[in-house]
Amino acid sequence: MRVRTQGSALFSVVCLALCIGNAPARAEARLNAHFKISMVGVSIGQLSWTVDIGAGNYTTAANGKASGALSVLVNGEGRVATRGIIDSDRLRPTFFSANLTEDGEVAGLQMTFENGGVKTLRMDTPPKKDGRIPVGEADRRNVADPLSAMLIVAPPGENNAPVPSHCERVLSIFDGQRRYDLVLSFKRLDVLKVDAGYAGPVLVCAVVLKPIAGYRADSALVKYVGGKSDMEIWFAPITGTLIIAPARLVMPTMIGTLEIAADRFEVTALKSPGIAPGTALPPPVAPIPAEPAK
């Protein structure tokens, strides 16, 4: 999904790792989610998101579209996808691609990652400058793509309850054009019921957006969203894994509240003795383009 300059840091989707080593055995799983995007209660778009979790790797893809009279912060359509490996405490991407369309213009990019940083970056069009803060080499180190960053390793606590400390972290994100941090902190425990799929406890984290590079210093994002602490993300578990994923995002803006809320959050075990032969599965994730030749 494409977001205007004001909001791209938040939604290069909205925009996910299994613990290995001594962790107990568990089924591989697929999350099939759908989100409604609304501004001040008026529908302006939708987003579909699929996550496949394997024994030591993952793939995830999202596609969406937003438009309408109130789509001041979110506008356009597109698809983003990534794949990577499962580490002990996070997902580490190896390849990320994006194909975005806004105002009739199509832009694509591909990134490869190595040792926690961007190794290669290929873009269809040159990055915009127009007074933006330059992205330096240091800004491409110790980062993740927007999809991988939002999937958090969070083993449940007693009675499978969410653990507040899992909110205490900084998500360092680079989407190929913009570098920003999402600083999370614990806000509360809550309960969420999705129309299709999940119903149960969620971990609600307060979120502070900290733009770092790739932005204009006078952008509306920096003025009205950056640094403020009234945004929140609701994380729900991907059942059968140790990962939590966003199921709801609420962001106050200068014209009202923007909300991205799941109306489907379904998890299917891909390999489990308890599933009868022939059980229908959600549609598979679309193939991710091959990595650029080195």
Q: What is the DSSP string of 267-282?
A: EEESS-TTSPTT---P
Global model pTM greater than 0.85: no
Contact 42, 59 (CB under 8 A): no
The band of 131, judged by pLDDT with boundaries at 50, 70 and 90, is confident
State both tokens at 13. Answer: 């989707």
Return d(Cα 169, Cα 81) in angstroms, integer. 23
- Lowest-pLDDT choice from 156-165, 183-192, 281-290: 281-290
Please give the pLDDT value at position 215. 85
Mean pLDDT of all residues in 263-269:
94
Residue 271 corresponds to which amino acid? K
Among 138, 127, 173, 126, CA closest to 9: 173
The pLDDT of 138-153, averaged and rounded, is 94
Interval 24-74: pLDDT, tens: 334 489 999 999 988 888 888 888 999 999 888 899 999 888 665 444 444
Q: What is the DSSP letter of 90?
A: S
Give the closest residue to 150 by CA, choosing from 244, 266, 251: 244
Per-state percent for the chain, helix, strand, coil, to nearest 5? 10, 50, 40
Alpha helices in the chain (DSSP H): 8-11, 146-149, 220
Contact criterion met (CB below 8 Å) for 65 and 76 = yes
- What average pLDDT does range 239-260 have in this prediction? 87
Residue 5 has pLDDT above 70, yes or no: no
The three-state (H, E, C) secondary structure of 192-229, written as one string: EECCEECEEEEEEEEEEEEEEECCECCCHHHHHHCCCC
φ, ψ (nearest 5 deg) of residue 145: -75, 165
Mean pLDDT score of the chain, rounded to an integer?
78
Instruction: Please determine, for residue 15, whether its predicted confidence score (pLDDT) is greater than 70.
Output: no
Using an 8 Å Cβ cutoff, are 252 and 230 in contact?
yes
If you average pLDDT over residues 138-158, what whole number do you get?
Answer: 92
pLDDT score for 100: 77
Q: Has residue 1 got a pLDDT over 90?
A: no
